[in-house]
Amino acid sequence: MEDTRKKPIIEVKDISYKYAEDHVLEHVSLNVPEGAFLALVGPNGSGKSTLLKLILGLLKLQSGKIKLFGEDIRMFKDWDQIGFVSQKANSFNTGFPASVFEVVQSGLTKKIGLFAFPKKKHREKVLDALKSVGMLGFQDRNIGELSGGQQQRVFIARALVSEPKLLILDEPTVGVDSRHVHEFYQLLGELNKKSGITLILVTHDVGTVTDKVSHVACLNKSLHFHGDAEEYHSLDEKELSTMYGTSVQLISHNH
């Protein structure tokens, strides 16, 4: 289904990373083609977050190369092409006195530019983004008053408001009511198909995710599998569990 000849949005070449003597990533190479919906799966401590931080430029490369939109990451300036939704629980103070509107508008900070003020068109973009995640009408509420799932939608709206070509989500369903997880994946699927946004979903939840995505990459320090979702599903459980190690419980796929 996916055209692999499409130019890659992210090219990761042979990167390794260590904290002190602790090797977190070893020789990881990964290409993400335009329009893909990639699930980056791996158990806790597999280096997923580190890889993500490297791609987002939050950590400095120790070895290897990363290209974003065809440009070396050290030269890359176009950060508003990349939307990022982090693990809500870690980065967000639920008592923060901001309205939903203010939170989503903060996603336009870079785009509006230094010393400039939001204009009418920016305010309209905020409402559009809220609409696309089904949260129109909540803009005047304080962010802390919403449920976990609603907050996560607001954060996606914040990432979408700058109209990125690539959206990266780090464990986005943590803290989301399990009844709403399905809806949530549906929303992501729509964004990927209708708006053509390339998605990277980082998760330790191997079971449900791999049905919804076009590509799968399995990470545990090094990359154990990287291919499209159909290939992934053709792997048998034995191969899968050697990839993840025995600590991960795999849910079987009914195909």
Partner 1 sequence: MISGIFQFEFLQNAFLTGIIIGALAPLLGVFVVVRRMSLIADALSHVTLAGIALSLLLEKRFMALAGLNPLYLGMAFSVAGSLFIERLRNVYRHYQELAIPIILSGGIGLSVIFISLAEGFNTDLYGYLFGSVSAVSRTDLWVVVAVFLIVVLTVILLYKELFLLSFDEEHARASGIPSKWIHFIFIIMVAMVISVSMRIVGILLVSALMTLPVAASLRFANGFKQTIFFSILFGEISVIAGLFLSYYLDLAPGGTIVIIAVGLLVTAILIGKRKKTKWGEGK
- Give residues in contact with partner 1 (CB under 8 A): 56-58, 77, 79-80, 82, 84, 86, 91-99, 101-103, 105-110, 112, 114-115, 117-118, 140-142, 144-145, 158
In contact, 57 and 68? CB cutoff 8 Å: no
- Least distance CB 244 / partner 1 (angstroms): 27
- Least distance CB 106 / partner 1 (angstroms): 5
Nearer to partner 1, 108 or 133 (CB): 108
- Least distance CB 153 / partner 1 (angstroms): 16
Nearer to partner 1, 142 or 222 (CB): 142
In contact, 206 and 250? CB cutoff 8 Å: yes
Please state at what angle helix 148-160 crosses helix 178-194, rounded to 10 degrees: 20
CA end-to-end span of the chain: 17
Nearer to partner 1, 109 or 234 (CB): 109
Nearer to partner 1, 6 or 96 (CB): 96
- Least distance CB 227 / partner 1 (angstroms): 28
Report how far residue 42's alpha carbon sits from residue 106's, in angstroms, rounded to the nearest whole number: 31
Pairing verdict, β 222-228 and 215-220: antiparallel
Read off φ and ψ for residue 147, nearest 5 degrees: -75, 165
